[in-house]
């Protein structure tokens, strides 16, 4: 199997068919008579009839579908489990309420297999663009495309390009190195996915291949969107992520200070009265003091937003 399409789901039986229909309509499903992708669904404790629906699809689909049920632990732990059990070369996260274009698998498959084995080993994945359900572009084109770019270079230099929402198919060997939780985070139900993507950037720093092609249809502003109000639901997760960032990636302050300050403000917003004293580095304490008042000003606006 070349590609595992991973979908975490929780009580999304009314929307999960978007993913199924997207995969059913793919222009490339088999090569030499063998399926090139599978659909891996991790059901995070759904109480609806997700299991029965998936069983029906398993009987009728012309591509393999794997279904795994776990007690409700949150999306991130579902993804960690999926990465752990995936044996494909590539891993495509596909949310349970989104759609994709019919040429998606074909583009990813053919592009990846045009790379040399050496570049496959060094490449984190292939990034593409998104639109919303109304056909509106989310963000802009990549300023550099169809060449290998250091992921850290993208992090520093693409941040101010207003790329918006992007979508990537990922090298499973790289994911397996970073998709695990530090001991102090294992009790948390939610941690922002950016925690793991930052680990890819700063702990591995592979290459990324960008293609200016819209492949993902991202549904926004639906009433039951799981991202709604997430900044208020899981403060511990945002606190952990921001503290990890400001302590472990200090180099960002010099390379991209705006990004570093954004994470520092987030740390202050989610910290309690011990936030200052939990920082051991005097430079971090100084920055905390400087940014404390600004954090109070933006806090009420930040916590109102959707992620």
Which pLDDT does position 74 carry in this prediction? 87
Nearest CA-CA partner of 61 in 8, 21, 31, 101: 21
Q: What is the pLDDT of residues 1-59, one digit of tens each?
A: 799 999 999 999 999 999 999 999 999 999 999 999 999 999 999 999 999 999 999 99
Answer yes or no: pTM beyond 0.85.
yes
Residue 214 has pLDDT above 50, yes or no: yes
| Region 90-117 average pLDDT | 97
pLDDT for the residue 221: 73
For residues 78 and 42, the answer to whether their CB atoms sit within 8 Å is yes
Query: Per-residue pLDDT for 220 more than 90?
Result: no
Q: Are 146 and 44 members of one domain?
A: yes
Q: Residue 225 above 70 pLDDT?
A: no
pLDDT digits (tens, 9 = 90+) for 275-297: 999 999 999 999 999 999 999 99
Same domain, 91 and 208: yes
Q: How far apart are the first and last CA of the chain?
A: 33
Q: What is the CATH number of the domain that holds 20?
A: 3.90.550.10
Claim to verify: residue 137 and residue 251 sit in the same structural domain: no
**Does residue 223 lie in a domain region?**
no
Largest Cα separation within the chain, whole Å, is: 63
Q: 160: domain range?
A: 3-218
Percentage of the residues of the chain whose pLDDT score is greater than 90 = 81
Q: Which residues contact 93 (CB under 8 A, 6 or more apart)?
A: 6, 79, 170
> pLDDT tens digits for 232-270?
888 999 999 999 999 999 999 999 999 999 999 999 999
Q: Check whether residue 47 and residue 157 sit in a common domain.
A: yes
How many independent structural domains does the chain possess? 2
Residue 229 CA to its chain's centroid (Å) = 18
Residues 43 and 68 in one domain: yes
In this structure, the answer to whether residues 60 and 147 fall within a common structural domain is yes
Task: Give the integer Cα–Cα distance in Å for 228 and 301.
Answer: 15
Mean model confidence pLDDT for the chain: 92
With b for 16 or more beta-carbon neighbours within 10 A and e for fewer, the 78-97 pattern comes to bbbbbbeebebbbbbbbbbb
Specify whether 244 is located in the same domain as 99. no
The pLDDT of residue 223 is 59
Asked if residue 225 is part of any domain, the answer here is no
When pLDDT is averaged across residues 145-152 and rounded to a whole number, the result is 93
Residues in CB range of 34: below 8 A, 6 or more apart: none
* Of 54-58, 66-70, 101-105, 220-224, minimum mean pLDDT range: 220-224
Looking at 196, 218, 240, which one is the last position of a domain?
Answer: 218
Q: What is the structure's pLDDT at 307?
A: 43
Nearest-5° Cα angle at 51, 105 to 175: 45
Q: Where are the alpha helices (DSSP H) in 249-281?
A: 252-255, 257-270
Residues 80 and 106 in one domain: yes
Flag whether 265 is in a domain: yes
**Domain presence at residue 113:** yes
Element (H, E) at 237: helix 235-248
In a domain, 242, yes or no: yes
């Amino acid at each position: 199997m070349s590609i595992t399409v991973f979908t975490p789901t929780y009580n999304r039986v009314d929307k999960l068919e978007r993913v199924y229909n997207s995969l059913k309509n793919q222009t490339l499903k088999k090569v030499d008579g063998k399926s090139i992708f599978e659909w891996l669904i991790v059901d995070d404790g759904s109480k609806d009839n997700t299991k029965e629906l998936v069983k029906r699809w398993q009987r009728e689909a012309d591509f393999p579908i794997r279904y795994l049920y776990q007690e409700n632990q949150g999306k991130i732990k579902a993804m960690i489990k999926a990465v752990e059990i995936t044996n494909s070369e590539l891993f495509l996260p596909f949310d349970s309420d989104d759609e994709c274009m019919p040429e998606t698998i074909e583009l990813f498959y053919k592009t990846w297999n045009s790379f040399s084995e050496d570049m496959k080993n060094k490449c984190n994945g292939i990034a593409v663009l998104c639109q919303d359900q109304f056909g509106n572009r989310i963000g802009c084109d990549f300023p550099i495309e169809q060449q290998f770019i250091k992921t850290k270079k993208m992090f520093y230099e693409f941040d101010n390009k207003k790329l918006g929402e992007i979508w990537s198919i990922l090298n499973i060997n790289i994911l397996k190195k970073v998709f695990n939780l530090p001991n102090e985070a294992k009790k948390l139900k939610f941690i922002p996915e950016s925690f793991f993507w930052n680990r890819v950037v700063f702990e591995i720093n592979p290459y990324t291949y960008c293609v200016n092609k819209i492949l993902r249809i991202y549904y926004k502003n639906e009433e039951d969107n799981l991202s709604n109000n997430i900044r208020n639901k899981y403060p511990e997760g945002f606190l952990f992520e921001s503290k990890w960032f400001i302590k472990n990636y200090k180099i960002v302050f010099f390379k991209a200070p705006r990004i570093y300050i954004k994470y520092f403000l987030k740390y202050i917003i989610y910290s309690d009265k011990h936030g200052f004293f939990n920082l051991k580095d005097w430079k971090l304490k100084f920055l905390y003091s400087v940014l404390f008042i600004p954090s109070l000003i933006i806090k009420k606006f930040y916590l109102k937003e959707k992620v």
